[in-house]
Amino acid sequence: MYKRLSAIMFPLTALLLLGALVWGYQENQEKNSILIKAENQYQRAFHDLSFHVERLHGELGNTLAVNTTSNGMHRKGLVNVWRITSEAQNEINQLPLTLLPFSETEEFLSKIANFSYKAAVRDFTKKPLSEGEMANLKTLYENSAEISRDLQKVQDKVIGKKLRWMDVETALATEEKAEDNTIIDGFKTVDKRVAAYPELDYGPSVASIYDKRSVKKLGGKPVTGEQVKAKALKFAGLGGKAQVKIQENGKGTEWASYTATVTSSDHKEPVSMDFTAEGGLLISYNDNREVGPAKVSMKQAVEKAGSFLKKKGYPGMTAVSADRYDNLGNLTFVSSQDGVLIYPEKMTVRVGLDTGEATGFQASDYVQEHKEKRVLPKPKLSLAEARAMLNPEFEELYNRLAWIENEDAVELLTYEFGGKINGSQFRIYLNADDGNEEAVEQVRTSSGAQDK
């Protein structure tokens, strides 16, 4: 009996063992194939990065070599600088550098890309490269030469020593001691060099991209937790039985704030609010009540939201957009002055479409940008003159004066035209002085806001 059983089990066991070995071999081959593909991708991205940084240096040199009045060549050179820098940024993102300090170099390339793009797209006949911008290009030319040399040194060692990027990834992921790793060492050297470069003045259009807002910039006297408590109770308006819990956030930092949570037996869910520590300004409000099925229209929601803002101390706000998401309406309001809409001073209001009552709002832009009185110029162009500069096929639905911040971070007066073309609705903002198209945006049609 045992002989018969062993005669059956032995070949079966051998077959299973052979199958396991074949499966293990195939798994190992697939794993090696994946690792080889990853290594090849890393190597390609790294060598392309070195190549593009060298090209960046060359293109900056070409741009500087031509006559200062060669606007066409300057534009072409800056477009090439933007394209090459964007390629280099893309290649950095393909390398396993998330755990390696390389942020200074990434930001350096990002600023070059934004500077070259914003300079290239403007009208050089009206605004050629300034002396400061030419000086920036010379500095960037010198800096890019140094970065290129450092990367080429790393590249030579990678090729000469047949170094693998997979070893870098493993060392970074496992937090092993990797001080002697040539690749890691080389990239740290590049980043340290870039960090030592003095900050260039790229102009307001680029600086605005990297401008980090902080509540400390608002000024105002610091407020106490008790003062915030009183503000929260008044704003929530939940009656005398309400209780407030205060939490201080980011104490001693530029982002110091207070979170107030108001609870009341008269209100099922808590209401939370965020206030700045400097000045005690309300940044956000959130009523956590459950919203039922929609029963009111978006037009009614806009009216109720406007009444809510007026009641809470924000008079004269105008709805400029209204979007519906299931049983919620998200509305954008801006302030106005002398009939001009002030777009930088905007806030978003969330409305429950079951009752039309506001369930929250976000006012950080309004808090940061609000001014009691702005100096608004008179438009140099008449409405008819501005309208004549629109696309003849544009079907105008409404127009109004709007104070906006353009892509160069400059605030200016515009004519805002809302209308339709090619089956879609757009807002077009024309400079009220010269008719230049400062901004164009496609909008979704939603009833309620003033998209007439």
The pTM of this model reads 0.70
* Bridge partners for 319 per DSSP: 333
The single-letter code of the amino acid at 333 is: F
Distance CA 288, CA 199 (A): 45
Partners of 443 in the β-ladder: 425
**Measured between alpha carbons, how far is 37 from 27 in angstroms, rounded to an integer?**
15
Q: What does the pLDDT read at residue 210?
A: 65
Listed residue (2, 59, 353, 368) closest to 208, CA to CA:
368
pLDDT, residue 1, reads: 53
Indicate the Cα dihedral angle 259, 262, 263, 265, nearest 10°.
180
220-244 burial code (b ≥16 CB/10 A, e <16): eeebeeeebbebbbebbebeeebeb
Residue 16: the pLDDT is 63
Helix ranges, 121-271 (H): 131-160, 165-173, 182-195, 204-210, 225-236
Indicate the domain borders of the chain: 16-210, 216-280, 383-443
Radius of gyration of the chain (CA): 30
Instruction: Give the list of residues 6+ apart from residue 369 with CB closer than 8 angstroms, or none.
Output: 344, 345
Q: Which residues contact 18 (CB under 8 A, 6 or more apart)?
A: none
134-161 burial by CB neighbour count: b if 16+ within 10 A, else e?
eebbeebbebbbebbebbeebbeebeee
Dist. CA 7–CA 338, nearest whole Å: 100
Per the CB < 8 A criterion, the answer to whether 333 and 317 are in contact is yes
State the average pLDDT for the chain: 83
Q: Can you read off the two tokens belonging to residue 441?
A: 């945006």
- Which stretches within 271-395 are classed as H helix? 298-311, 364-369, 383-387
pLDDT at 56: 92
How high is the pLDDT of residue 408?
76
Q: Which residues pair with 415 in a beta bridge?
A: 401, 430
Residues with pLDDT less than 50, the chain: 178-180, 447-448, 450-452
3-state helix, strand, coil in the chain (%, to 5): 45, 25, 30
Phi, psi of 366 (to 5 degrees): -60, -45
401's enclosing H/E stretch is strand 395-405
Rounded to whole angstroms, the Cα distance separating 128 from 208 reads: 21
Number of neighbouring beta carbons within 10 Å of residue 94:
14
Q: How far is CA 331 from the centre of its chain?
A: 21
Dihedrals phi, psi of 385, to nearest 5 degrees: -65, -40
Which value, to the nearest 10 degrees, does the dihedral of the CA atoms of residues 34, 39, 45, 48 take? -130
CB 288 within 8 A of CB 272: yes
Residues 244, 232: contact at Cβ < 8 Å? yes
User: Cβ distance 352 to 291 under 8 Å?
Assistant: yes
